[in-house]
Amino acid sequence: MLSSSQQTTNPALATNQPVASSGYAVRVSLIAALGGFLFGFETAVISGAEKIIQQLWSLSSFWQGFTVASSLIGTVIGSLIAGMPAQKYGRKKVLVVIAILYLLSAIGCAATSVWLLFVSFRFIGGLAVGASSVVGPMYISEISPARIRGRLAGSFQVMIVTGIFVAYLTNFLFIDFGDTGWRWMLGIMVVPAALFAILLRFIPESPRWLVLNNRDEEAKAVFAKTGETDATALIREEHQLSRDGTKESLFNGKYNKPILYAVLLAMFNQLSGINAILYYAPRIFEMAGFNKADAYLQPVYIGAANLFFTLLAMTVIDKFGRKTLLLIGCVGLIVFLGLTAHAFSPGGTMGKNVLIYLLGYIAFFAFSQGAVIWVFIAEIFPNSVRSQGGSLGSFTHWIMAAIISWTFPVIVEGSPNGGFYSFIFYSVMMLLAMIFIWRVMPETKGRTLEQIQKELGIK
């Protein structure tokens, strides 16, 4: 904290530089967050094509689950390996590679008529999603001033849900394109992927990565642009905290607490059933009795609710904190997942009730788990192992997503009450999540990344 005399004589403050610099940090963060838009689009777009693809290649429920999950298998691997090149070559260079992978996936999936090639290009898209989920939030958290870090890191999640909404919308618009509709659904991602690749040319490298690589003057210049007026002190503290850190292993016992928090939060995020709903939304609405056109329209409402409540969460995440949002969310998720399970139970009432329950579900998910997960994982690990920790949290998230997405069609097609069993399981998992968040998880709002490290007792 600067004294009054320092505030008066500091040229940056006298010229209102921090305000302008915050604008720079926002612009740069939004460009990096475009990877989140592609992440969301790639995640949800398959929901419109999955039943068409199943019929096209005559896939059993097992192989259909595998086809959908092939992207998630790539995502698991992408999240696991992204930390290493991000640590060695820098966050920005890895983001450029991610943009190229998204382009290849979009072009390949739209163009191929061979199932094995389709799966391969879906896998490539998954690599990009997994790497995005690690490097995007990491970059944004490292370039953001502490006072607005929650909102800027949360912009990645806003972009994810925007991508999901746009995917549902374009799926609905292309459904009448006949036999080629699914190709348009998947191929349209070329446009945002190309835009992402172009805009990445105009962002700087992460200042904290520059510090780790002894490029202090470059780091100081970036800190100055982002509104960190005490850049010299931050650099000195980073050197102290990350001394020999580039050679440090995440699994040396020192980081057990952040590992526990990140892994459990990532697991519970997927055990809420979110990817089953995002990947199979039209199928779920057809199960509930909607005709084909309405089954493709209802996910647009789901996507709109997802976007609205994520934006709402972003306005309060730095005020209320991460933990409060998660606890509020758990209560709503338990209730609405339970109601959805009841709707699919023998004698349950489906139809419009399912839409209402899933809108309630998505509202509470977006306001809590969806808004918090990437912010929290990017914050909880120290600079010296942040790339490794981000990879671990993201890997856990995506391995659970692959399991949920692969097994969902097998369960719902293998039992007349499969929908009931799935949703009641997710509801019970959210009860366990609420206990973990309430009793174990720390709060990180309003603290610098270095303060969080100290409060966790990491030296």
Q: What is the pLDDT of residue 290?
A: 84
Return the CATH number at 124.
1.20.1250.20
Task: Name the more confident of 377 and 431.
Answer: 431
Q: What is the pLDDT of residue 110?
A: 92
Render pLDDT for 133-150 as a digit per residue (tens, 0 to 9).
889 988 988 888 877 777
Task: Name the more confident of 301 and 5.
Answer: 301
**Does residue 16 lie in a domain region?**
no
Question: Is the dihedral angle over the CA atoms 36, 38, 41, 44 positive or is it negative?
Answer: negative
Question: What is the spatial distance between Cα 388 and Cα 83, in angstroms, rounded to a whole number?
Answer: 5
Q: What is the pLDDT of residue 12?
A: 37
Overall average pLDDT of the 184-202 stretch:
94
Q: What is the pLDDT of residue 240?
A: 65
Write down the residue that tokens 């647009």 correspond to. Answer: 300
**Does residue 82 lie in a domain region?**
yes
Write down the residue that tokens 């790497």 correspond to. Answer: 131
**Does residue 2 lie in a domain region?**
no
pLDDT at 348 over 80: no
Cα distance between the two ends of the chain: 22
Q: What is the pLDDT of residue 4?
A: 35
State the chain's mean pLDDT as an integer. 84
Render pLDDT for 221-238 as a digit per residue (tens, 0 to 9).
888 887 766 666 666 666
Write down the residue that tokens 């489906």 correspond to. Answer: 350
The contacts of residue 197 (CB under 8 Å, 6+ apart) are 96, 99, 100, 103
Residue numbers of the domain that contains 249: 23-203+242-455
**Does residue 9 lie in a domain region?**
no
**Does residue 229 lie in a domain region?**
no
Q: What is the pLDDT of residue 229?
A: 64
Q: What is the pLDDT of residue 3?
A: 37
Task: Name the more confident of 80 and 93.
Answer: 93
Question: What is the spatial distance between Cα 303 and Cα 260, in angstroms, rounded to a whole number?
Answer: 31
Q: What is the pLDDT of residue 131?
A: 92
> Could you give the number of structural domains in the chain?
1
Is residue 330 a contact partner of residue 202, using CB atoms and an 8 Å limit?
Answer: no
**Does residue 12 lie in a domain region?**
no
Overall average pLDDT of the 432-436 stretch:
95
Helix axis angle, 292-320 to 149-174, nearest 10°? 170
Question: In percent, how much of the chain has pLDDT > 70?
Answer: 90
**Does residue 224 lie in a domain region?**
no
Question: What is the spatial distance between Cα 359 and Cα 239, in angstroms, rounded to a whole number?
Answer: 47
**Does residue 237 lie in a domain region?**
no
Q: Name which of 21-25, 179-183, 226-230, 259-263 the model is least confident about.
A: 226-230
Q: What is the pLDDT of residue 336?
A: 95
Question: Is the dihedral angle over the CA atoms 104, 107, 110, 111 positive or is it negative?
Answer: negative
pLDDT-derived band at 103, boundaries 50, 70, 90: very high
Query: How far, in whole angstroms, is CA 407 from its chain's centroid?
Result: 21
Overall average pLDDT of the 298-317 stretch:
87
Highest mean pLDDT of the ranges 289-298, 340-349, 420-429: 420-429
Overall average pLDDT of the 349-370 stretch:
88
Of the candidates 120, 92, 109, which has an alpha carbon nearest to the alpha carbon of residue 35?
Answer: 92
Structure tokens at 256: 């057990």
Render pLDDT for 374-419 as a digit per residue (tens, 0 to 9).
788 878 888 778 778 887 888 888 889 888 888 888 888 877 788 8
The contacts of residue 208 (CB under 8 Å, 6+ apart) are 142, 219, 238, 383, 449
Question: Structure pTM?
Answer: 0.76
Render pLDDT for 111-125 as a digit per residue (tens, 0 to 9).
999 999 999 999 999
Task: Name the more confident of 89 and 228.
Answer: 89
Q: What is the pLDDT of residue 238?
A: 64
Render pLDDT for 37-49 as a digit per residue (tens, 0 to 9).
998 999 889 888 8
pLDDT at 242 over 70: no
Query: How far, in whole angstroms, is CA 339 from its chain's centroid?
Result: 26
Q: What is the pLDDT of residue 232?
A: 61
